[in-house]
Structure 1
């Protein structure tokens, strides 16, 4: 079902020993105008105007045991089988307004605690164009990020500051200088390094931007640095202002740790590109019958106005399957609402164990290079140094765009050959 002009459509997978259709009605009532019983003032007119509506219920499989414990059902001696179903519920936009925390509370709030379910996961979230227009849009997105780094085509090759923590502001700047000289397009702080005592942002931002500006003056190459300014809202705004004054183009925030309101406040305050880091998403997504799927997750954060979204990487070091990574990237390329007058697509950031050898799988799956291809060890651990690491990745992208196997390309690309020999044997 597509969105009506005045309704938000949420898709769930549920598990219950009860009738899934009846449980869906409970969900709709609980998250709109109802509770476990009809109350005074809950008139037919009010229900017609404000109640959520069950749009579909599609049975799936059954299980012999529940996925999650449930004291409510245990007290009542309710037994299985535990039925699973996909359901869609639509919510009136008028119930919520352009209020992102309340939207999240409506579609992904107390539902997880319902006594009727032994599993519940929000999978999809669709919003109508008029509703989407009431929220923030990316300031840079794909096209703006390309303009900021002066790269109209080709994958943006990026890396992460390593060691993650421990470097002083001066040492960080020195490493950034080496990475700029190596030819990267994008550098970001690690998510665990924001404003540490050994490299406070007040010192690190000016130190890093001095070498970034010097590199640009020397070569004409503008490297985008995503400074991790995760913190209290006023501090994030203050640090974003410092990045802007120093000539920077991007800031990064840990989305789950900061929360919707803080990210909205940051977006509205700064014109800089906002790099959205999803660390902690695994806690929300890894169980197939609990939490939230990436399509719904990225919808909420894109309504906050981020420009880049992490999707992890193909054949990477984390738990996500390649199929999940590919689907997440495609979600980033998909407009949130059909018929929207503005482009709200965002740039996916591929990371986690990426190197030249993972480029073919990425190209084959995505078929485009509007992405951040971020390699930490794949650049910094290249046996011939960071410049060779960057070169190997660019050589791999050139090969896949030309339809040439990496082994063949490596015959005339020594950096790629060394990468294949070094990383491919690990």
Structure 2
């Protein structure tokens, strides 16, 4: 066992023993989670925000009470139940009280998509960390990605079909920061038909087949006969066959994602079983073999991981750049007034059809935190966060 692994294992044993002695008859799952959290704090590299906090504590440059509020603001940020859809852009004005220095962005990241989170800051210091949302609604103990010192960008690909995520943003205490955050996704896989994109998909997952007796378990991508078919990812050829509904077929196994890709109706097959291939290698060509012999040439592309699932998110084009907000908070976190007339609602999402949290009172004062599209993210005097549109 490597030395680092031995040290980690010994630390875990010591912590488990200490917790057992301290807590007595606690349940084993809670015991393990507590031990895991402590081990991560001891041996896992710190994020840029944690390093910054540690440095401030050592230097004593900021009052301990302020740092405590700053850390509590980060801890409490994910209690905001605001949700956005991707792609998303939001401009935050983080120059208010330390208690509101941290803000959260919740969203769902579809499987097969690579998330990119980028930030632009006019001045000051800002930190960004990405967390998974667990089944119980809490965020994971440690971030899956975080901005590094001087680099406000990272990519992240989910391990499963989709993941609920929280991106936490925080400014340094006592600094004014205008931070523009953009969240976009791109396909994790290369498009399987050379020279084509999602516009060539003409038949989708779930479409009726055999007069309604079965459903389509893939996407049909139409292209001229003989068009090259490409390996969508690095992997190993598991099967090359000819016969049945698929005609000439190829199965490609993706070790990284632990799933297989099914290419059917080929005209030519250029690979053999057990061959290792790289992303972009030519596997064969488009045809209309099997039960596609009466249809125009196309590739039936399927994805299997414990069963078939919809490949469309893996094939969809990269997200366009999210639009710039229509408004700006010109003086940082500014006090806004709900208009005198009309009905205006505090919503969970920045969308006119978003879940209504409550109807705001006319002329009610709210604090503007950020802007996205035509919506403001606001904090009410009751302590509620939400999105509101005053158009």
Going by fraction, where is helix more abundant, 1 or 2?
1
**TM-score, scaled relative to structure 2:** 0.25
Rg bigger for which structure?
Answer: 2
